[in-house]
Amino acid sequence: MDSAPTPERRGSRNTRRPRRRWRRRKKQHPKPPTPAPKSPLADVFLEELADSEGEDCEVQVYEERHNSRGEHVSLRVGTQTEFDFPKSDSHRAALVLHRIFDSRQKLQNTWLTIKSSHIKKALREVIGTYPNISLKTSSNAEIPAPPACLFHYRSELEDYATKSQDSVVKDHLRLCLDYLKTDLRRELSVYQATMVASEQPSIEYQYLWMVFKPNTLIYRRVDNIEVVSRLSSFGLFGHYLPGSTNHVHLVIENIDFDGTDFGLIQESISIERYDGSKPLTELEAFPLQYHPDQERIRRDLLHRGKRFMSLCGTHHRFYDGPARFCDRDLESNYHVQHRIIIDPKEFENNTSIGLSGFDEYLAPSKIGTPAGANFSDDEFIICGHEIPGFSLVWRRWAYFKVEHVHEVEFDNDAFEQLVLSEGKKQLIKSLVEQQGVDDDGFDDIVKGKGKGLVFLLHGPAGVGKTLTAEGIADHTKRPLFAISSGQLVGPASQVETTLSNLLALAKRWGSVVLIDEADVFLQERTIQELERNSLVSILLRILEYFEGTIFLTTNRAETIDSAFRSRIHLSLSYPPLSKSALQILWKNNIVRASAGQHPDWLTDSFLDQISDAQVNGRDVKNIVRMAYAVSKNGKRKMVPEDVQQGLKALKSFEVDMIHGSI
């Protein structure tokens, strides 16, 4: 390129030359060469190369080691003596074994590459899927050592080879199985001696992988309850590395229900390292087929699985057994002996300890009518042994053991035995039974208002207010959702949220709601107590929009805020119990404690005598319960002295209370 002329110095007296415009010359790039026409022979060669992959019925072994320059090189064992030139593995060999050594020539890793299309096809048809191994047609199958999938399905592959009419397929499978027998010569010998020929199957820790075949049923005990799961995957970390301290890792799965769908929930369990050989049945978990009582276990868990399916949804049940409670991300176990609500969907919505999500949803075809109609026996067996729900007495969420869930035995006589006039009882029954029926025929002007049914029960303690709500709930076979004032504490906004959430659950479950001792919510508002005024306003607003049946009890009816008059549909006064009412209560409770039988000693004179005592209905119930406990402890029937002893104990307690002795 020519050099640029020196520009004239500014301010020169010489005649100004016209300004020259400079242009940058474009760099000339050479044109790319025209590609040569593609030879059709190249395509033919590539196709032949692909078709011939893995067709040679042979096993080739390659080792990767470090050469003198520290480079990783690969060589075919026996054909290459120097490490200077790496050699790639064979394209045509059916099986290629790879061994990786570290810089100290210590074996680090081993795996088998299956290139034979015949063997891969057999594996897909026999095995289908196997954890961490791809058996797709488009890629080679990489099987880490030990070749567990070949070991677990060796019998099925033998049968496949025997039945095949293709001699090439037979040869390739025989090659694969011969490799297995050679590579696992010691393992097969140990397995035959300790697992097959032994009366009590046992296994060493390093050989555990041979026992745990994916998709087999795994037996274990959880909280002393028998549980069977399906094995999803197995990991024995460092299984051939001496001195390894890792443990066996099992991923198991069970069928569960999240309130909407059935799915598989996975869980990880461990088997700690042990020395020597150990009986299989002494492991934390082992295949069900090795349990000496597997037939009985199958029957029991098949029955339990069907019960689990029948409980999926929302159900009112009685529970008697251990329960796992979930509060504030903590779990605790208590014995429960009362009624519960089973509701997996609301459990998920109200707790942070729930199903973390299904690993896999079951196909819709598996969900029949009735629930689980299309499940196989093995699927019933791996159904969950727990189901989530709500304790109606403790008002807490928990996991309940399926085998301890029972039908509710409703007390049909409780409401009829109330010491209340027949007219009042009939009125209560009529209102509750008709509540919610044909709501559209009689509604408030504002949509959603005025659909609830509110009772106010007022009177002294122990006269039957709470029993009225309990009795009508049993009479209508509905849950009783009792809310205590202890649950409704804190700032007004917090109380409103808590109460709204509880009543939403009660409405979902069709419950009869009882807010016992609701005085703090009912008292007349004053200028001085703004916080309590807020609580009163909250209840008034909630009652206006609540669509269920609710009972409010108080022993201070004279202080009730006037605004409640328009919210309450029926107010019932419970006067102190008369002597005749007490006689009825004594008789009903004693007969109930005597298994429904009328004891000979329960005469009118005895009832007249004990009814002179100044007690209330709750006292009567407690005294009879005490008498019943004494008779049960003595392994005999209840006698009058048991009742009189309980009455004396109560009176003694009251005297001590008056004199401040306790």
Q: pLDDT digit string (tens) for 170-221?
A: 999 999 999 999 999 999 999 999 999 888 999 999 999 999 999 999 999 9
What does the mean pLDDT of the chain come to?
A: 83
The mean pLDDT value for 281-289 works out to 96
What is the predicted pLDDT for the residue at 10? 41
**Residue 565 near residue 456 (C-beta atoms within 8 A):** no
pLDDT at 19: 39
Residue 253 and residue 359 in contact, taking contact as beta carbons nearer than 8 Å: yes
Residues 601-619: what's their mean pLDDT?
92
How many percent of the chain have pLDDT more than 70? 79
Contacts of residue 2, defined as CB under 8 A and 6 or more positions apart, other chains included, come to none
Tell which wins on pLDDT, 20 or 498: 498
> What does the alpha-carbon distance between residue 499 and residue 533 come to, in Å, rounded to a whole number?
16
- The secondary element (H helix, E strand) that includes residue 142 is strand 141-144
Cα gap 340→342, rounded to integer Å: 6
Going from N- to C-terminal start, the domains of the chain cover 50-183, 206-274+281-409, 422-573, 579-658
The rounded distance, in Å, linking the Cα atoms of 616 and 417 is: 15
For the ranges 403-417, 443-457, 515-529, the maximum mean pLDDT occurs at: 403-417
Q: What is the pLDDT of residue 193?
A: 94
Q: Distance of alpha carbon 411 from its chain centroid, rounded?
A: 33
**241: pLDDT strictly greater than 50:** no
Give per-residue burial for 401-436: e unless 16+ CB within 10 Å, then b.
bbbbbeeeebeeebbebbbbeeeebeebbeebeebe
Q: Give pLDDT, residue 218.
A: 98
Give dist(CA 268, CA 273) in Å, integer: 16
pLDDT band of 353, cuts 50, 70, 90: low
Q: Tell me the pLDDT band of 135, cut-offs 50, 70 and 90.
A: confident
Write down the pLDDT at residue 81.
Answer: 28
pLDDT given at position 67: 66
Is the backbone peptide bond immediately before 370 cis, with ω within 30 degrees of 0?
A: yes
Four-residue CA torsion sign, 488, 493, 496, 498: negative
Packing angle of the helix pair 154-163, 117-126 (nearest 10 deg): 120
pLDDT at 567: 84
Of the candidates 46, 47, 80, 54, which has an alpha carbon nearest to the alpha carbon of residue 65?
A: 80
Please give the average per-residue pLDDT across 114-120, as a whole number.
93
Per-residue pLDDT, averaged over 96-112, amounts to 87
66 or 445, greater pLDDT: 66
Give 435 or 365, the one with higher predicted confidence: 435
Give 469 or 655, the one with higher predicted confidence.
469
What are 137-160's pLDDT values in tens digits? Answer: 678 999 999 999 999 999 999 999
Q: Which CATH architecture has domain 422-573?
A: 3-Layer(aba) Sandwich (3.40)
Q: Give yes or no for residue 261 having a pLDDT over 60.
A: yes
Residue 112's pLDDT band (boundaries 50, 70, 90)?
Answer: very high
Q: What does 57-71 look like in DSSP terms, one character per residue?
A: EEEEEEEEEE-TTS-
What is the pTM assigned to this prediction?
A: 0.79
Residue 109 reports pLDDT greater than 60: yes
pLDDT score for 26: 43
Peptide bond into 146 cis (omega under 30): yes
What pLDDT is attached to residue 523? 76
- Cβ partners under 8 Å of residue 390, min gap 6: 340, 341, 343, 346, 347, 396, 397, 398, 505
Q: Which two tokens stand for residue 591?
A: 């007969």
Q: In this structure, which amino acid lies at residue 373?
A: A
What is the chain's Cα-based Rg? 41
Taking only the tens place, the pLDDT of each residue in 55-102 is 889 988 888 887 666 665 666 663 332 323 334 446 788 999 998 888
Is the Cβ–Cβ distance between 390 and 340 less than 8 Å? yes
In this prediction, residues 103-126 reach a mean pLDDT of: 91
The mean pLDDT value for 402-413 works out to 95
User: Which pLDDT score is estimated for 69?
Assistant: 63
Query: Quick one: pLDDT band at residue 358, thresholds 50, 70, 90?
Result: low
